[in-house]
A and B are shown apart, each in its own frame.
Chain A
Amino acid sequence: MTKAPYPAPRADADNAGFLDAWRHGRLLIQSCGSCGKSIFYPRPMCPYCWSDRIESREASGKGRIVSYSLVHRPNDPAFNDETPIVLAEVELAEGASLLARIVDCRPEDVGSGRAVELPPLPSCTRYPLPVFRLARDE
């Protein structure tokens, strides 16, 4: 039986670059050319200063878990055989924070404060949004 596809993000002119980069395993993060702050999720203007001088930069993919939950009851059946989903607030080294899955780990090894990194290609790109794994050289 084929696995149900993951729900897909809605692509638009503001997030096309971000979504396309992830299909190649790269994490693009916006930063503001005026105030310098990092921005997630993709937007057409800086939410901190309303500048439209938005630049996209490839992030290191390194960050840390701020907090997380272990989702045993995901909404969409596409996730049912992957529970618990480790859903984390991840703070990137570049400053922005995002919600992301921590994959390729035992849930009991996850902890707030732990370092994370992007998993290696190509396994990670099957996910529709950037995911992380626990850093190997922590």
Chain B
Amino acid sequence: MAPARRHSGDVGILGYAESAYEKKTTRTLISMLAEVARGALASAGLARKDLDGIAVCSFMLPPDNAVTLAEQLGIPVSWAYLGTAGGAGPVASVMNAVGAIEAGHAKMILCLAADNYDIAGHYRLMDFFNRALISYATPNGFGGANGLFGIVQRKHMETYGTRRQELGRIAVGQRASARQNENALLRGPMTIEDYLDARVIADPIRLYDCVLPCAGADAVLVGTLDRAPAGKGIRVLAGYEQHNHPAGEIAPLHGGWELFRDRLWADAGRGPADMDFVQAYDDYPIMVAIQLEDLGFCGKGQVGAFLAQHSFSFDGSFPLNTNGGQLSCGQAGAAGGMIGLVEAVRQLRGEAGPFQVARARCGLVSGYGMVGYGHGLSSSSIVLERVQ
């Protein structure tokens, strides 16, 4: 007997789209959002008149918001959502969209994420990200997220014996996938030696632990699965978000995933071993490692051995961030929290071409973000399954 599910299973993802990723762009944010809005509808075979809800995650969008975006796009909506959870926001937006449809607030919701900045823009964003960072981190020359996650990574290495040789397998495996993905900004070959010997950024963080800030947009369309194109519906089995856990720690070695992990797998009626791929939030390999621990793919503190046992390219023993992820495609601001959703849908629809995972039926997507005083405050995860 199937276990009880918190969600009906009648709602899912009907379409998806991704813009070109660019190191620098002259495009406006609205043009990028409009492109993926059209693209997501086209991939679902639906029209703008079918939409009645909108969600958007973007750091550069203010002073605009979800409602003014609806005006710019010319669509009346009965439900509007503005993500506030950084890289955890897009996955959370989809779960909120599922809930809104189940509650009757809307029938068809476009979930968008985009940013149009570059490296300099990213630095400015981090220095002024929130009040705690402005007043208590930026005056220390903290080096943005790199400085903070250097503290986290060193603590994980010293607490559990995790080694850079192990963490590097994530970056190397994802790069192997990116070499097949024409939309990845970083497609050159990478060996473990390249990773280990790369330029120091915020020791122990080196260059290939870091993402390349870039411009890009991603979108998914959420609605009832009876509207999905034949054979292309993607069911949302389960999903959760968690914010500010653990409270009061500067550099924790765990995150909100550990609080909802058991509910997530119980609701999905699946476990870690059932996943055909994982799209984890990869701002840094160390945070991928912590996600894998917290979500139960291995025990806490045991991720080093787990990483040593597996290979992480799309055709490896543990397909991870199968388009190359943010580490190779680039981090398009808040769209870094949606690139994994789009890639999961692409894989489950069997449309990933040269980086298609064989027999991709079910997968996990995870988000993380909103760096506060020391670490990312927000975590989210969703389990998706191809409609048989």
Residues of A within 8 A of B (CB): 6-10, 15, 41, 47-48, 66-76, 78-79, 82, 84-85, 87-89, 97-101, 112, 127-129
Contacts and interface: CB of A to CB of B under 8 A. Distances in A.
Q: Would you list the 10 A-B pairs with minimal beta carbon distance, nearest first? A: A69-B150, A79-B141, A71-B143, A9-B135, A70-B203, A67-B155, A128-B139, A74-B141, A71-B147, A75-B123
B142 A9 contact: no
Interface of B: 123, 126-127, 131-132, 134-144, 146-155, 158, 200-205, 247-251, 373-374
Contacts, number: 129
For A6, A15, A47, A69, the residue with the greatest tally of chain B CB atoms inside 10 Å of its CB is A69
16 contacts: A6-B139, A9-B139, A10-B131, A10-B134, A10-B135, A41-B135, A67-B151, A67-B251, A74-B141, A75-B138, A75-B143, A76-B141, A87-B143, A87-B151, A89-B151, A99-B140
Chain B binding surface SS class = helix
Contact of A98 (B127, B148, B201, B250): B250
Contact of A72 (B127, B158, B202): B202
Contacts of A70: 150, 200, 202-203
Contact of B137 (A68, A72, A99): A99
Contacts of B139: 6-9, 127-129
Nearest to B143: A71
Contacts of A10: 131, 134-135
Contacts of A69: 143, 146-151, 153-154, 202-205
B202 A9 contact: no
A41 B126 CA distance: 18
Given A15-B135, A41-B373, A71 B141 contact: yes
B310 to A, nearest CB: 27
Contact of A71 (B142, B249, B373): B142
Contacts of A129: 136, 139-140
B141 A101 contact: yes
A7 B141 CA distance: 8
Nearest to B126: A75
A75 B140 CA distance: 10
Nearest to B137: A99
Contacts of A9: 134-136, 139
A68 B132 contact: no
Given A10-B134, A69-B149, A73-B201, 13 more contacts: A41-B136, A68-B150, A69-B150, A69-B202, A69-B203, A70-B202, A72-B201, A74-B142, A88-B151, A97-B249, A99-B140, A99-B374, A127-B139
Contacts of B131: 10
B144 A75 contact: yes
Nearest to A84: B203
A73 B250 CA distance: 21
Contacts of A76: 127, 138, 141
A123 to B, nearest CB: 16
Contacts of B201: 72-73
B142 A75 contact: yes
User: Which of A10, A48, A76, A88: most chain B Cβ within 10 A?
Assistant: A76
A99 B142 contact: yes
Contacts of B138: 7, 75-76
Contact of B155 (A66, A74, A82, A127): A66
Contacts of B248: 47-48
Given A9-B135, A98-B250, A99-B140, A72 B374 contact: no
Contacts of B149: 69
Contact of B154 (A7, A99, A112, A128): A112
Nearest to B251: A89
Interface centre among A74, A100, A129 (most CB of B within 10 A): A74
Nearest to B206: A72
A70 B152 CA distance: 12
B250 A97 contact: yes
Contacts of B147: 69, 71, 74, 85, 87
A79 B202 CA distance: 14
Q: Which of A41, A82, A99 has the largest number of chain B CB atoms within 10 A?
A: A99
Nearest to B374: A99
